[in-house]
Structure 1
Amino acid sequence: MRRLIRIVGWLALTLIMLIVVALVGFRGAAALRENLSPEEAAPAGALFATVDGLKIHYQVWGPQDGPPLLLFHGTASWAETYRDIAAPLGEQGFRVIAPDMPPFGYSERPADQDYSRASHARRVLGFADALGLRHFSVGVHSYGGGGVIEAAFSAPARIDSLILLDVALGLGRTEAPALPFASFLNSDWPRQLLTASTFTNPLMVGPGLRSFIENDDVVTAERIAIYARPLNVEGTTNAVGHWLFSGLFNDERKSLAANPANYRTFTPPVLVIWGRDDTTTPLEQGKEIASLFPHAELAVLDGVNHIPQVEHPHDVVRLIANFLKRISPATR
């Protein structure tokens, strides 16, 4: 029996050591990979706008004089991940503009590592200012919804319309979100080890996408490469690690986007698009959000999990184009 206990003990110790070695290896790989500035890593001919002293990378589709539609992404995404709907919408005459919101993509990260909804909202409106847009429609996916809705509620007169794609808001939350092992991860190195092995690990991009998408066939090697492309930007692991605390798991219960009363007084038209099979933000959340706005319509897509613009882009393009053509200030 003692011998068996010793063997089990050594096996457990060996397993722990292998896990530690793997975590350290992923952090070392990240350090070697993240060796380019945002401008050096960005695609040739990349566009940047200066917002609050940060260079924000963005992409544009469609005619210069088309009705502007800003598209803001969610977790671990960037402008190019919108290409399946942005290009077709551009072909239909809309001026589609998608920025990379820190800490993701090729945009610079703030020195204060503040990724709260309030900071996100300031960058949303600051980006529109940098492009000279006084009025615009705005679409957003998943985690990005909190900051974009915060911006819309703080400047409703500037919003022509709002398009919400499976947004993650945590409405009705009574307690602050709890980051697992928060006290342990509050230390720099444990946090970086976790981040390098998950959020900024290229090997995790494919499995991560599949967990949010109903049909695995959509997760092609090309799509995985697109999502992984900005992971060579310097400081990515460190920035995303801080985002876990001040962004993803931040206590936003006092934010504008957390107060149902603000939804009821928001008068611009709203389109809510939701996947019927969403396992991250279930459809009931989409129904609740749509019911709060006075002028909202809900479109539910069958066979779609959490990323409708990737899973059923043609349907999303049709819904957005028809919606914008109905409510466009130029046609009212």
Structure 2
Amino acid sequence: MITEPRARRAPPSKVPRPARGWLSAALRLLVAALLCVLLVVALSWVRMLWVEDRSPRQAAPAQGRWLHAHDVELYVQEFGDPAAPPMVLTHGTGAWSGTWDQNVQAMAAAGYRVIAVDLPPFGFSTRPAARDYSRCAQARRIIGLIDALKLGPVTLLGHSYGGGPAAEAAMLQPDRVRHLILVDAAIGLLENPAPAKSGGVVAGLFGIRPLRTALIATVGTQPLFSEFWLRKFVARKEVVTSSRTEIYRKPFVLDGFTASLGDWAVQFAGESGRSLSERPEGFRRLPMPLTLVWGQEDTITPLSQARTLQQLVAGSRLLVLPGVGHIPQIEDPALFNLRMAEVLRYP
């Protein structure tokens, strides 16, 4: 019996040796890059633990003081005649009361008692035990500060991130505010607020406190990146000098500072339509005068947002500052102080 020969099986395909070499090299590079990233993160974490070892009372400038407001002790610095009409300043992201150093004397000279406050977790105010940095909670701290000062209604100025809590405070307790000034404010108006959605894997990982603390320690409170981030917020890059950046970095020594920034960031990113000041109707009902001061070159909160706010509030006025971006008070202090003096003298 003659049988047909079996068909030979094709040998298994093999990756050519040059390709295997490339794959092996790429894998080694990937592993090396991952190890480098892990090393940088670990070193940043160690630096954070080493540097963040001071309490607010140990680290804060001596000229300020703390006042109990709502659920925290707010650190404030005061300038001008104690008997003059009061003016409260709230700062933006990453700033604190000390970053108004080029402006407070001009505001005081315009005839005001200027009170610059640190909104937690920024600056030297204590942090809330509940880790609540929502806009409403910040607004209640501002209201608590006004009540603690016992000065009656105040002129309230909010810059950037601080503009949201300032506007919210004016809406929650309009009798505490006689004039609201918003400077390049991050309001985030929503016509029809939608329910918050899950942000996926990245948002899920950022929701894990140790992971987000490590991330912020690596790229946020890492001093090597401070000038880089500050330049992102200004149109005039030359104002971001080492001495200016050092002022912004002063609170970096506080115990738990980096972790608290992560707590704030999660809430700031997740707020959507929960505040009165995120809704157009909240601005339409504002009973006090509203002044908007905006950098013409602002790319963080563009001028179009200021024009929208102006349309919502009858009788409001908009002052556009040419040649500056999101932080006009440090980009052109002389121009900012001149326009602010006009606003304060003729409200």
**TM-score normalized with structure 1 length:** 0.94
Pairwise CA distance, 1:295:
2.3
Pairing 1:212-251 to 2, within 5 Å after superposition = 212-246=233-267, 248-251=268-271
Name the structure 2 match of 1:2: 20
1:156 maps to which of 174, 179, 182: 174
Name the structure 2 match of 1:89: 107
1:194 maps to which of 215, 218, 230: 215
1:276-304 Cα shifts (integer Å, max 9, x gaps) = 11111111111111211112111111111
Gaps of 5+ in 1: 328-332
Judging changes above 3 Å, is the alpha-carbon distance between structure 1 residues 280 and 255 closer, same or farther for their aligned structure 2 residues?
Answer: same
| Separation in structure 2 between the aligned mates of residue 177 and residue 288 of structure 1, nearest angstrom | 26
1:70 maps to which of 85, 88, 111: 88
Contact 2:158 2:164 survives alignment (8 Å): no
Pairwise CA distance, 1:177:
8.1
Pairing 1:1-332 to 2, within 5 Å after superposition = 1-172=19-190, 174-175=193-194, 176=196, 181-246=202-267, 248-327=268-347
Pairwise CA distance, 1:254:
2.6
| Separation in structure 2 between the aligned mates of residue 225 and residue 135 of structure 1, nearest angstrom | 34
1:3-45 Cα shifts (integer Å, max 9, x gaps) = 1111011101111111111112112111111000000011124
216-225 vs 173-182, which moves further: 173-182
Pairwise CA distance, 1:86:
1.0
**Which AA in structure 2 matches 1:208?**
W
Provide the aligned C-alpha RMSD in A: 1.6
| Separation in structure 2 between the aligned mates of residue 294 and residue 250 of structure 1, nearest angstrom | 30
Contact 2:143 2:176 survives alignment (8 Å): no
| Separation in structure 1 between the aligned mates of residue 63 and residue 102 of structure 2, nearest angstrom | 20
**Which AA in structure 2 matches 1:184?**
L
Contact 1:178 1:249 survives alignment (8 Å): no
Pairwise CA distance, 1:53:
4.6
| Separation in structure 1 between the aligned mates of residue 208 and residue 319 of structure 2, nearest angstrom | 43
- Report sequence identity in percent: 34
**Which AA in structure 1 matches 2:218?**
S
**TM-score normalized with structure 2 length:** 0.90
1:171-221 Cα shifts (integer Å, max 9, x gaps) = 126444876811011112211111112332222211111111111211111
The structure having more radius of gyration, on CA atoms, is 2
Name the structure 2 match of 1:330: none
| Separation in structure 1 between the aligned mates of residue 71 and residue 207 of structure 2, nearest angstrom | 27
Contact 2:310 2:318 survives alignment (8 Å): yes
Contact 2:110 2:345 survives alignment (8 Å): no
| Separation in structure 1 between the aligned mates of residue 205 and residue 279 of structure 2, nearest angstrom | 31
**Which AA in structure 1 matches 2:328?**
P
